[in-house]
Amino acid sequence: MKQVQLGGSNWKASSVALGIMRMNVLSPEKAASVLDSAYDDGIDFIDSADIYGQGKSEEVFGEALKQAKVNRDQLYIQSKIGIVVDPKRSHGSLVFGKRYDFSKEHLLSAVDSILQRL
């Protein structure tokens, strides 16, 4: 697997990421198998976002990581934040009003929630 340098750091990660957007529908056991298979193929970069599965994808990933053969220290995990989904201002795939929140309060709260789920 090709590796790419992460920014100006000395770290290198796989050029292909394992996206966990739909991991919320998997059992932790199945998700652990997916994670191990990806790592065996050279993928060590994990892509997530706090809105994937309304946070459930990160919960399943966190449980899967406990069961997987790969160690947390062998992975680069990215979780994106800032998108807000307010059911009171949504109808199907349409969202009305503010869609992003990059305030300090929201970002700190989102990071705390991600760390708890993972």
pLDDT digits (tens, 9 = 90+) for 10-43: 999 999 999 999 999 999 999 999 999 999 999 9
DSSP 7: T
Per-residue pLDDT tens for 91-117?
666 666 678 889 999 999 999 999 999
Which homologous superfamily does the CATH classification assign to the domain defined by 3-117?
NADP-dependent oxidoreductase domain (3.20.20.100)
- Please confirm, yes or no, whether 52 is among the known catalytic residues: yes
Which residues 6+ apart lie within 8 Å of 16 measured at CB? 1, 2, 42, 43, 45
Going through 53-92 in order, the beta strands assigned E by DSSP cover 76-80, 90-91
* Catalytic residue, candidates 39, 52, 76, 100: 52
User: In terms of pTM, does the model score above 0.95?
Assistant: no
Instruction: In whole angstroms, give the CA distance from residue 34 to residue 69.
Output: 11
Say whether pLDDT at 89 is over 80. no
Q: Where in the chain are the domains?
A: 3-117
